[in-house]
Amino acid sequence: MSQHIQIYDTTLRDGSQGEGVSFTVAAKLRVAEMLDQFGIDYIEGGWPGSNPRDMAFFEEVRKLELKHAKIAAFGSTRRASLAAADDPQIKLLLEADTPVVTIFGKTWLLHVTEILRTTPEENLAMIEDSVRYLVENGREVIYDAEHFFDGYSDNPEYAMQTLDAAHRGGASNLTLCDTNGGKLVSQISEMTAAVRARFPDMPVGVHCHNDSGLGVAVSLAGVESGASLVQGTMNGYGERNGNANLTTIIPNLVLKMDRELNCGDRLEKLRDLSLFVTEMANCTHDTKAPFVGTSAFAHKGGVHADASAKVKHSYEHIEPELVGNRTRVLVSDMSGRSSVMMKAREIGVDLDHRSPELKDFLQQLKDLEFRGYEFEAADASFKLLLARFLQGRQPGFELVGYRVMVSNQAATGRIVSEATVQVRIDGETHHTVAEATGPVDALAHALGKAIAPVFPEVMDLELIDYKVRILESQHGTDAIIRVQIETRDNRSGESWGTVGASDNIIEATWEALVDAVEYRLLQNES
């Protein structure tokens, strides 16, 4: 029977300390619900008394009907020379009214004497008294041995004595913390094994940081050495370089190490959970994240794409669907015939691999990439390119000309952009003008107004993202500019990406806008 591992999520406390991470109270509550639905065992909600947001969270989280997870409040041991019952911070931990309290204590003598400025004996008493008092008040107590691995390296016997104190006090779990994130896999393995030997009947956990880029590796090493609880954060959020990343740890435990997890049967929801937490944290999702990133199962090289098409696991270490992800084929100047075939199939284009035009299309694709176009995030532009080159599709409208002007109206303090667009549809010229604050918005509105009399469906389109990339910036103002836009059809909810490239930012924008509209017209045709 495989070992059962409990997952302790500290995204809402430790993760919120990461640079750029920001949770509102409402967001924290929604994340807690999602973590519970996913099957996380413990959810650390914050540090009562440290800020009003955490206090509000603990008041509101009681109203949630969580099905599985236990909410934990986080804090420290009592102060030196102060009874646990009289310590204000201990009182706040109880007032949070959570079933679980996690407290940390000092393991490293450096911190005991130089940071707390107390004696080693008093530190041991602080740990034992605090744990016992919380247990006597009906709380399950998880003890976080802060700086355990540094403390053990400095003085193994004293580090073990701090765990003895927490054990005597009645802690349910002794979690070993690599607080500085500086230990190697072999060190974590050896020290965790030593703790398990000293406490054979006591559950042990690991809490690791990623300062050496090893947060996931050392956490897994701790499990291999006997730890039965892993602490970490979703997407690896946390102070400095972040905490051990649970979106990487969890699938490794289930799929690679055959450990039993309560969330193991919901693994296909992992990517959705990762994206949801990203949104709630007001961050950008890491496209390179293992398992859950957009690029995790993306193939760009022609050889890779061809091999994975024939035997998927030849270039994929797991089935992407196991974690809610999918295989993607990236089309670029590295692509071969197989890549284009797979990409065409992926986006619904029936392409004959024996087509004599395919070779010419590949050359055209490489030429466009050389000129600055990139189709990895612009599926709509790629599909249009296929339709034009291989199927002879003609544009829905012809450009006669456009003009964009930006004026700073000093008298009113306004900046106004005006765009004029002339297009020809079935021999008839349509001439429109639109105003907006920015030139891109003005151009998009003018284009929409120009073709709406014939193609009214374009009025449902909305530009939702706009990215500019300067290529070969050493060329200064002569550099090629790539513009990628994301467009959404507000009627269907579908969105798509398009691309344009030019040494003029407005022209590059125009190309991407036209492709966005043409793609919508292509959908009507099909």
Q: How many angstroms from the chain centroid is the CA of residue 143?
A: 29
Single-letter amino acid code for the residue at 356: P
Please check whether residue 23 is in contact with residue 280, taking contact to mean a CB–CB distance below 8 angstroms: yes
- Specify whether the CB–CB gap between 84 and 90 falls below 8 A: yes
Residue 358, Ramachandran bin (φ over 0: left; ψ between -120 and 50: alpha; else beta):
alpha
176 burial level (CB within 10 Å; 0-12, 13-18, 19+): buried
Write the DSSP assignment of 297-328 as a string of letters.
TEE-SHHHHHHHHHSGGGS-SS-GGGGT---E
pLDDT in tens, 33-42: 999 999 999 9
How many CB atoms within 10 Å of residue 287?
12
Give domain limits for the chain: 6-280, 298-370, 398-525
Joined together, the tokens standing for residue 256 give 């690679």
Query: Which amino acid is located at 93 in the chain?
Result: L
pLDDT at 45 over 80: yes
Report which listed range, 35-44, 337-346, 382-391, 409-418, is most confident.
Answer: 35-44
With beta carbons less than 8 A apart as the criterion, state whether 372 and 480 touch: yes
Mean pLDDT of 214-231: 97
Topology (CATH) of 398-525: Double Stranded RNA Binding Domain (3.30.160)
pLDDT at position 399 over 50:
yes
DSSP string, 457-479: GGGGEEEEEEEEEEESGGGGGGS
Per-residue buried b or exposed e for 375-391, using 16+ beta carbons within 10 Å of the residue's own CB: bbbbbbbbbbbbbbebe
Q: Rounded to two decimals, what is the model's pTM?
A: 0.71
- pLDDT tens for 105-151 read 999 889 898 888 999 999 999 999 999 999 999 999 999 999 999 99
User: Which DSSP string corresponds to 94-112?
Assistant: HHTT-SEEEEEEE-SHHII
Q: Which two tokens stand for residue 280?
A: 């709630």
Torsion angle of the four alpha carbons 248, 249, 251, 252, in this order, in degrees rounded to the nearest 10: 110
Report pLDDT for 229.
Answer: 98
| Alpha-carbon span 327 to 140, nearest angstrom | 43
Of 271, 392, 315, nearest to 329 by C-alpha is: 315
Q: In degrees rounded to 5, what are phi and psi of residue 360? A: -65, -35
141 neighbors 182 (Cβ within 8 angstroms)? no
Assign 470 a pLDDT band (cuts: 50, 70, 90). Answer: confident
**In 9-119, which residue ranges form alpha helices assigned H by DSSP?**
25-38, 52-61, 88-95, 109-110
Written as six digits, the tokens of 156 are 């193994």
Task: Give residue 105's identity as a one-letter amino acid code.
Answer: G
Tokens of 276: 């949801």
CATH topology of domain 6-280: TIM Barrel (3.20.20)
**What is the pLDDT of the chain when averaged over all its residues?**
88
What is the structure's pLDDT at 343? 61
| Count of Cβ atoms closer than 10 Å to residue 114 Cβ | 9
Mean pLDDT, rounded, for 446-463: 91
- Identity of the amino acid at 64: L
Instruction: Give the tokens for residue 444.
Output: 């998009």
Q: How far apart are CA 10 and CA 70, in angstroms?
A: 12
For residues 331 and 409, the model is more confident at 409
Mean pLDDT of 297-309: 56
**What is the Cα–Cα distance from 265 to 286, expressed in whole angstroms?**
24
* Contacts of range 422-427, beta carbons closer than 8 Å, 24 or more positions apart: 422/450, 423/397, 423/398, 423/399, 423/447, 423/450, 423/451, 424/397, 424/398, 424/399, 424/400, 425/396, 425/397, 425/398, 425/451, 425/454, 426/454
In which band, very low, low, confident or very high, does the pLDDT at 303 lie, cut at 50, 70 and 90? Answer: very low
How far does Cα 336 stand from its chain's mean position? 31
pLDDT in tens, 416-449: 999 999 999 999 999 999 999 889 999 999 999 9
Q: How far apart are CA 443 and CA 517, in angstroms?
A: 13
- Dist. CA 253–CA 51, nearest whole Å: 34
Phi-psi region of 417 (alpha: psi -120 to 50; beta: other; left: phi over 0): beta
State the pLDDT confidence band at 380, using cuts at 50, 70 and 90: confident
In b/e form, how buried is each residue of 405-431, taking b as 16+ CB within 10 angstroms? eeeeeeeeeeeebbbbbbbebeeeebe
Find the mean pLDDT for residues 230-238. 96
Burial grade of 64 (CB within 10 A; 0-12, 13-18, 19 or more): middle
| Structure tokens that stand for 220 in this block | 């897994």
| 351 and 344 Cβ atoms separated by less than 8 Å | yes
